[in-house]
Amino acid sequence: MTTGTVTVRGSLGKAVLTAVLLPALLAPVPAAAAPPRQAAPAHSTPAAADWTAPLSTRGRWIVDADGNRFRLRSGNWHGASGTWNGSGSADDDANHHAGENAHRIPLGLDRAPMAEIIAGFQEIGINSVRLPFSNEMIHDTRPVTDDAVTANPGLRGSTPLQVYDAVVRGLTDAGLAVILNNHTNTTRWCCGVDGNERWNASRSTGAWEDDWLFMARRYRDNKRVVGADLYNEVRRDVWDDPNWGLGDHHDWFGASQHLGDRLLTEANPDLLVIVEGINWTGIPVDGFAHGRPTLEPVRRLSHTLVDSGKLVYAAHFYGYTGPNHSGATGIGETTDPRYQDLSPAELVDVLNRQAFFVTAEADRHFTAPVWISEFGVGGREETGAAQRAWFENFVDQLVRTDADFAYWPLVGLHENRRGNGWALLHWDSAGHRMGLYDGDDWRAGAWTRLIGATGRTGPVATVAHWSMLSPDHGDFIASRRMRALPDWDSGARKAACPDGQRLLGLGHTGNHGLCSDVTAGPLGDPAGGHAVVRDERYVPPGGDWASGYSKLQCPDGHFLTGYSVRGAALSSALCTKAEPGGITGTGGRTVWFDRGDNRGGAPKGGDFAHGHYKGQCADGEYAAGIAYTGRIGSSRTPDALYCRPLH
């Protein structure tokens, strides 16, 4: 996490720091007596019987299988993703971040028994662990050296993946939830211009997906492996930025959407699919465009997975970085403020804009839990007033928003109570532990306040789902049922609502749609059945609801759940058969949106077609038809919806 007192974790900071030296903090000093140890505060740490896997989501909350709120009170146990700095011999500890050599496995297994480390996690009150790995680790067949597992001799001769297996088993046997985190492509320290900038920086997207399917299937039978954090801190490489929705090789939205669906349909439908925002774009030089988008693009373009209730968004925040600051010192340092330079009010405004709006705004297409899966600060040796104030202020934000979180990191190394002090628990070469509650760590108060904060507990009621369809660059079929059936409009880009939802809104151009199950829940006939409509055959005599326009109307007893387009032109409407008695309303109304928005007085769902006119049926209606015109000058895009009452 840090090089001395200068953090190089979380963005481009490491790549652009030019001459940050390990300070005297790492130099040998005479042994000092440990201060009196404080008793850790009593926490309701979850034992194996305290929560029931798997996890899912209801609106902004994560819940367990019984529907009770499960707040991710997590920490990061790093090491399997790599600690080598990328130059010099990987066998030399000095060539590893802050001199901490993890030996390609979770840090600290050379110094303390795994059970002791895990007991330390429970002591400080966490209920879950984000466990980073690299793609290289999966395929690394070299056994770990004996000195890498000195304190855990039963792991001798194991490959890094086998050690990772044992750690997963140890954590889950102790009742902790585990979130798998694809942190890096290669087993080296993250996160700069290091070959790990994107999911496909050092391997193909196909190989990345294959690795994830392998990992998801590997732990499928362990129900306490609850989540897949798809990739860590997607950011710019030397030449190019990642993007959110352009449909190219660098499109993080498209890549994470595609993989998330594959994990749920091909590997493990129980997993939470966790998607981080974009960590950095642009060149960190004053006068050039640059910044940290984080989750801001989600407001305009959000994921819709084939299974509702499985999406979690994630974001990282460190005081030394900023909304437009890379975190660098020297080359790559700009005049932009760091988060720790902001006043408490400014910090809250920025955090809400970049991430917390996703949970704060209900009934939007983007509403989901947000997991702050990395944040942290230096411990005993951190004397900076700005750094300390930032941590206190950030903890206040986590408490105030009842947020899910994961501290970085849990485990560190020390000698004579000196070393890289970011971790909450440290072990020296003799196996002696230095803990958060030893009496000399200024973070103890803030951590106690965070881990013991009163937040929502108990049952969480089910909520309506609001889902965005975005067939911008290809099919966007969020229905498991339609995915299993033959292509219903070959050559067109098709969009379909998740099973159990109905189409309620369309964009005039841009081809975006809005789905929901609001007020009615699932309407589809359990026996199945659908119709693909390409003409006006189902418009009854005297029932012209859009005179002069072409109308694609569902047959009676059916409701709109999808559509297809060729270019910008509407190609067909997908109508799903309703269960008997599911829709009984008669008549209807035409909602025009060819010349402006027409979404009612207080529409839910959010802006699902940013920059384009939108039409939307009311919550108590269903869409039964789409109208368009083919007259000269028209692109045959949707102009109107036919909205009918449910009952």
Cis peptide before 54 (omega within 30 of 0): yes
Rounded Cα gap, residues 399 and 392, in angstroms: 11
Answer whether 482's CB lies under 8 Å from 496's CB: yes
Task: Tell me: pLDDT of 4 over 50.
Answer: no
pLDDT tens digits for range 501-517 = 999 999 998 889 999 99
pLDDT number for residue 39: 63
pLDDT tens digits for range 7-33 = 344 444 433 332 222 232 233 333 445
Mean pLDDT of 571-598: 95
pLDDT number for residue 510: 80
Beta-carbon contacts of residue 544 (< 8 Å; ≥ 6 apart):
551
pLDDT tens digits for range 408-440 = 999 999 999 888 899 999 999 999 999 999 999
Cis peptide before 23 (omega within 30 of 0): no
pLDDT number for residue 8: 40
pLDDT number for residue 48: 43
Strand 476-477 and strand 61-63: pairing? unpaired
pLDDT number for residue 34: 52
Calculate the CA 250 to chain-centre distance.
17
Rounded Cα gap, residues 192 and 201, in angstroms: 12
pLDDT band at residue 40 under the 50/70/90 scheme: low
Mean pLDDT of 252-278: 98
Rounded Cα gap, residues 127 and 49, in angstroms: 12
pLDDT number for residue 2: 33
Rounded Cα gap, residues 255 and 198, in angstroms: 10
Task: Tell me: pLDDT of 646 over 60.
Answer: yes
Which of these, 201, 230, 236, lies nearest to 215 by C-alpha position?
230
pLDDT number for residue 35: 61
Question: DSSP characters for 567-635?
Answer: TTEEEEEEEEEBPTTS------EEEE-SSS-B--SS--B--SSTTS-EEE--TTEEEEEEEE--STT--
Dihedral sign, Cα of residue 411, residue 415, residue 417, residue 422:
negative
pLDDT tens digits for range 618-640 = 999 999 999 999 888 789 999 99
On whether the pTM is more than 0.75, the answer is yes
Rounded Cα gap, residues 134 and 86, in angstroms: 14
At which residue do the structure tokens 């609502």 appear?
497
pLDDT number for residue 21: 25
Task: Tell me: pLDDT of 282 over 70.
Answer: yes
Rounded Cα gap, residues 436 and 413, in angstroms: 13
Mean of per-residue pLDDT scores for the chain: 93
Rounded Cα gap, residues 469 and 141, in angstroms: 42
pLDDT tens digits for range 73-113 = 999 999 999 999 999 999 999 999 999 999 999 999 999 99
Rounded Cα gap, residues 75 and 38, in angstroms: 21
- Residue percentage of the chain with pLDDT more than 70: 92
Mean pLDDT of 447-470: 97
